[in-house]
Amino acid sequence: MALDTRAAAARVLAEVLAGKSLNQALPPMLDKVSPRDRGLLQQLCYGSLRQAPRLQAILDQLLTKPLRDKDRDVLGLLLCGLYQLEDTRIPDHAAVSATVAATRALKKPWAKGLSNAVLRRFLREREGLLETLEEAALAAHPPWLFTAICEQWPNRSATIIEANNQQPPMILRVNSRRCSREAYLLQLKEAGIPAREGELSPDAVYLEAPRDVAELPGFAEGMVSVQDEAAQLAALLIAPAPGERVLDACAAPGGKSCHMLERQPELGELVAMDVDPQRLSRVEQNLERLTLQASVVVGDGSNPPAELAVDSFDRILVDAPCSASGVIRRHPDVKLLRRQEDVESFAGQQLAILKGLWPLLKPGGKLLYATCSILDGENGAVVRQFLNATPGSQLGRLQGSWGEATETGRQLLPDPHGADGLFYSLLEKS
């Protein structure tokens, strides 16, 4: 028997509240609800998390005492209920009724009265409750992140916050080995799928509305992949030449590796490395679907495996682990899972990876440093520290006038109608 959709959402949110990522918590639950309800489950989970800081601030006013850790599922259910009332077209009475009914599926009958009382009180006192919220809560961001965005990007903060709180566009990367963008747009038109060209990447296509990849012409045959336009810039910026040896040092799930191979069919070798063997299997799956060849290696960039020799790569791409502050709209659990101190922790890891990989780069070679962060602590600050500590390193010039120019590179900011927020910096070895 299929699980109640709102109970399923409550359990997913409970796992995220306990520290698990949405990517870990949601997929198993999708199999437990009716196929027709999977879309609703995704909407409830993603939407509740995008608005979680605001919904939690409202809930704090409605609960007389905090719920116990073992009742995180009830907390998740209440957040889901408030999300339906605040941010969906579900009629209020239906949202309340369905949410209250879900307490039975959670096997917590005591929560029935609580859920009913909380949601109905919100409906009665909505205006007054919202008036008491602080600015960060109204913006649906944790205070530390809201402050950081406003301080670092004072003229763009409203746009960034708007983008972070929206469902992102679905963006495709056309495989230039198989098809031109113009030809693929024509195929989409013939299939009745509205789409438009991207502005930053010659391979980018924006869909008017998200689609199951199974509905996309030629997807199974490797004609197209799903990849944000900002991420597509990596292959264009690193621009490997025929015969060169390239290392994608943090490769999983493989989108950037595959794009480099699509753009430059005559590469000498591409090595796709990642510290996580399980995530590397995604790289292998993508290579297979696209009929591309690469050497896949398990390894940590801060301490590369011995098989990767010194001075052996012409180009290195470092898509470093980070706070994901530039892709919150795709990973809304970041709002709950990340803390201010994580930025410093990631910066240390990023610097260690740069230092570990630098000896592998040939003299005259180029290293492209990328993050999906909009915070200087993970971007410019890391690059500056690396340059100051590394003789023979210097900044290279990035092609194009996209995004925002910074002291150390260029920064794309999340765009409600465009690309994600990514940072790029080009380092050259003398």
| 80 is known as an active-site residue | no
pLDDT number for residue 307: 95
pTM: 0.96
Question: How many whole angstroms separate alpha carbon 227 and alpha carbon 290?
Answer: 14
pLDDT digit string (tens) for the chain, length 430 residues? 899 999 999 999 999 999 999 999 999 999 999 999 999 999 999 999 999 999 999 999 999 999 999 999 999 999 999 999 999 999 999 999 999 999 999 999 999 999 999 999 999 999 999 999 999 999 999 999 999 999 999 999 999 999 999 999 999 999 999 999 999 999 999 999 999 999 999 999 999 999 999 999 999 999 999 999 999 999 999 999 999 999 999 999 999 999 999 999 999 999 999 999 999 999 999 999 999 999 999 999 999 999 999 999 999 999 999 999 999 999 999 999 999 999 999 999 999 999 999 999 999 999 999 999 999 999 999 999 999 999 999 999 999 999 999 999 999 999 999 999 999 999 999 9
The closest of 372, 375, 377 to 421, measured between CA atoms, is 372
Question: How many whole angstroms separate alpha carbon 388 and alpha carbon 386?
Answer: 5
> 352-356: which pairs have CB atoms within 8 A and are 24 or more residues apart?
352/301, 352/302, 353/249, 353/250, 353/301, 353/302, 353/318, 353/320, 354/318, 354/320, 354/382, 354/386, 354/427, 355/302, 355/386, 355/389, 355/390, 356/300, 356/301, 356/302, 356/303, 356/304
pLDDT number for residue 140: 98
Kindly name the residue from 179, 250, 258, 372 that is annotated as catalytic: 372
pLDDT number for residue 1: 81
Q: Which residues contact 314 (CB under 8 A, 6 or more apart)?
A: 240, 241, 244, 245, 246, 362, 365, 366
The closest of 158, 204, 133, 190 to 415, measured between CA atoms, is 158
Q: How is residue 306 written in tokens?
A: 């011995």
Question: How many whole angstroms separate alpha carbon 56 and alpha carbon 46?
Answer: 15
All domains in the chain, ordered by first residue = 5-140 (1.10.940.10), 171-226 (3.30.70.1170), 233-429 (3.40.50.150)
Report DSSP state, residue 34: -
